[in-house]
Amino acid sequence: MSLKSLIQEMRGELGRKGFGFGRSRSQRVVQDSCVDAFKQSCWATMPPELLRDVLMRIEASEDTWPSRKNVVACAGVCRNWRDLVKEMVKVPQLSSKLTFPISLKQPGPRGSSLVQCYIIRNRTNQTYHLYLGLNQAASASASNDDGKFLLAAKRFRRPTCTDYIISLNSVDVSRGSSSYLGKLRSNFLGTKFTVYDAQPTNPGAQLTRTRSTRLLSLKQVSPRVPSGNYPVSHISYELNVLGSRGPRRMQCVMDAIPASAVEPGGTAPTQTELVHSNLDMLPSFSFFRSKSVRSESLPQPAQKEGLLVLKNKAPRWHEQLQCWCLNFNGRVTVASVKNFQLVAAPENGPAGPEHENVILQFGKVGKDVFTMDFQYPISAFQAFTICLSSFDTKIACE
């Protein structure tokens, strides 16, 4: 049998095994027995050299979604397959690919390439969905057929603040969901925001206790990783001296990323492992939550000057249009006060070439459709939360 035929037959087996979503416990018992039998099949007992060659070819050929799901399916066959796939699939910083859910918490690609995403807003139910690979034509009609769903957020208005709950599940976007990743919280005026991660980004991360955190701790599934609110970044908006004719003035302090990350040879903390929580609480393999991370030591609170700070890229005045403009390279088509580009602020002294690179850009392309492009050293999760802060009304700044 040729290698091509072998790969095609293997994909058919994976499809028939039904790595689907939301199975009940009884269905999983039946499936587990099928999996046990499957482990004794020729696929699970393939010679390591042949298996590695097959998986390497699949990983290399299925480089975009939706075909990328075949790589995820291969990781769900058995432990040997999963270990090999995890070894082959590089972090987004090196591969520029988002494969597993943990990729959403890892820094984006390093260099000049930005990960291109779209955010679709639903005004009726106050939700925001983040997609990867959604083309311009699809975005104009708010269709997600060509896009890979990444994250969802839902806006909750409180008496003194606003919360944006962020989840891996497009339907169940709640604080108690097993797919809960974190939240964005604003102050009453909508000028200051704090981003909370459900999992610690470093061993010394400080847990912020809230009433919801205490209630959830009673229902904790895995005792190894405390679920709660770990502040990872702070966003602030200032009075815009350009008025409504220019972009908002904003600053983002990334508590989990050192300022040296943008310098040549600099590194950013990277979550690398997944935790297998209670299967009854998880909708599918692709929603496994992150384990306690292996990350580098971060500056203590007394060393805030060592943290990465993102600021607005200065706009230029366009004489013909008589307005302030930013070059989005065709990714933004509608003028809006929400549009922005963020670059790294120099820690001390003059700015270097690395401080000219756009780390995150966000802009409007339709009534309820926005582009979100990001790169190293921030992750898709961090970029999404920063963009969500732009949707809130800033009464004190405009």
Instruction: Delimit the domains of the chain by residue range.
Output: 3-89, 115-389
**Contact by Cβ (8 Å): 235, 386:** yes
Q: How confident is the model at residue 23, as a pLDDT?
A: 45
Distances (CA, A) of 272 to 167, 192, 378: 19, 30, 15
Q: How confident is the model at residue 239, as a pLDDT?
A: 73
Q: How confident is the model at residue 326, as a pLDDT?
A: 87
Average pLDDT per consecutive 10 residues, the chain (398 residues; last block may be shorter): 58 50 46 53 79 92 89 89 91 92 94 89 95 64 68 94 94 88 92 91 59 46 55 88 67 94 89 48 35 37 74 84 82 89 84 86 94 96 97 68
In three-state secondary structure terms, 132 is strand
- The residue written with tokens 């309820």 in the block is 368
Treating both helix axes as pointing N-terminal to C-terminal, what angle do 48-61 and 3-17 enclose, rounded to 10 degrees?
Answer: 80
- Asked whether the CA dihedral 300, 303, 304, 307 is positive or negative, the reply is negative
- How many angstroms separate the first and last alpha carbons of the chain? 68
Measured distance CA(74)–CA(80) in Å, rounded:
10
Q: Which CATH number fits domain 115-389: 3.20.90.10, 3.40.50.2300, 3.40.50.720, 3.90.79.10?
A: 3.20.90.10
| Residue 86 burial (10 A CB sphere; 0-12, 13-18, 19+) | middle
User: What is the DSSP pairing of strand 148-157 with strand 162-167?
Assistant: antiparallel
- The residue written with tokens 């009453």 in the block is 188
User: The whole model's pTM is what?
Assistant: 0.79
Q: How confident is the model at residue 388, as a pLDDT?
A: 97
**Contact by Cβ (8 Å): 372, 389:** no
Q: How confident is the model at residue 164, as a pLDDT?
A: 96
| pLDDT tens per residue, range 119-167 | 999 999 999 999 997 665 455 555 555 679 999 999 999 999 999 999 9
**Contact by Cβ (8 Å): 292, 322:** no
Q: How confident is the model at residue 352, as a pLDDT?
A: 77
Q: How confident is the model at residue 292, as a pLDDT?
A: 34
Structure tokens at 207: 């847990």
